[in-house]
Amino acid sequence: MTYEEYTIEDIRLIILRALADEDNGTMHDGRLEFELRRFGYNKTRDFIRNQLLWLQDEVGAVRTSEAGSVMIATLRKAGRAHVDRARFLPGVKRPSDVD
């Protein structure tokens, strides 16, 4: 695995965890940008939106919608199962069993 692949998988896990921490499992791309910065990833909204679309289209982990100029992501069962370590998604870093 290359460093770039590792980084992208880590970012996808951070996104899923951020959504899982929300009461309604929903967050917009601006908040996700802030969450990624907390972990040292300074990524553009376009990059974040591409990851959200990948998580939606490739592994069914989120559902996206748009409201004005923002993209909204909502965690789906597959994403929750990954965060909870019940089932793992390819292309997303596995969560550690120690938190």
- Could you state, in order of their start, the residue ranges of all structural domains in the chain? 3-83
- Give the C-alpha separation, 77 to 68, whole Å: 26
CA 13 and chain centroid, separation = 5
CATH for 3-83 is 1.10.10.10
Which tens digit of pLDDT belongs to each residue from 5-59? 999 999 999 999 999 999 999 999 999 999 999 999 999 999 999 999 999 999 9
Which tens digit of pLDDT belongs to each residue from 67-89? 999 999 999 999 999 999 999 99
Start-to-end CA span in the chain (Å): 24
**pLDDT (0 to 100) of residue 18:** 98
